[in-house]
Amino acid sequence: MIPIKDNMPTDRFPLVTVALMVAQLVVYVLAGHHAHGVGAIFVNASILQLIGNLWFLWLFGNNVEDSMGPVRFLVFYLLGGLVAFGLLKAVGSGGAGAAAGAVSAVVAGYVLLYPRAQVLGVVVIPFLFTVIEIPMIVMAALWLALQVVFAAVGWSDYLGVVGGLVIGALAIRPLATRRKPTPPTAAAF
């Protein structure tokens, strides 16, 4: 399933979310997997990871940014990336993929803020596709399962996801001050 939209409206343009997406793109183009220092938290391990991270950041970062405001959201994102980077360095992977940890923090935060949100997604089966609506909690479980598969096949860069999920789950409540009610299903799409 490829998520295409959630049912949570935003109150303002997600300026920090967009800036973080641009930063990931710039770091990937200029440094590939080899950025150092703070720039390392914008590093993606592959083009597929970059595309997935940008898409999930776009889909879910806007509402997390709305709930915190731009400054706290930036701190939240950077904290997720730094924890992921530290974990990746500790297991000897060099830190490539720390951006996935930052995005993981955002996904964990979104799930805890809006567990009853719905995600509209495209299901692609050869010669057939359909659009379905699923609960965010199911979407997050599918996303986490994909990360586990990547880690299991030896892509240790995805282990930073764990650090991001944990820090996102721990930091969301203190940083998110504005929480919107979840709209009814299907009506917001």
Full-model pTM: 0.88
For the segment 151-161, the average pLDDT, to the nearest whole number, is 70
* pLDDT score for 183: 76
Q: Is the per-residue pLDDT at 184 higher than 60?
A: yes
**Interval 136-147: pLDDT, tens:** 999 888 877 877
Write the DSSP string, the chain: -EEEEES---SS--HHHHHHHHHHHHHHHHHTT---GGGGGG--SSHHHHHHHHHHHHHHHHHHHHHH-HHHHHHHHHHHHHHHHHHHHHTTSTTTTHHHHHHHHHHHHHHHH-TT-EEEEEEEETTEEEEEEEEHHHHHHHHHHHHHHHHHTT-GGGGHHHHHHHHHHHHHHHH----PPPPPTTTT-
* pLDDT score for 163: 85
pLDDT band per the 50, 70, 90 thresholds, residue 33: low
Residue 54 or residue 49, greater confidence: 54
**Mean pLDDT of the chain, nearest integer:** 86
For the segment 155-179, the average pLDDT, to the nearest whole number, is 84
Superfamily of domain 14-116+136-175 in the CATH hierarchy: Rhomboid-like (1.20.1540.10)
Q: Is the per-residue pLDDT at 134 higher than 70?
A: yes
**Interval 59-116: pLDDT, tens:** 999 999 999 999 999 999 999 999 988 888 887 776 677 888 999 999 999 999 999 9
* pLDDT score for 39: 77
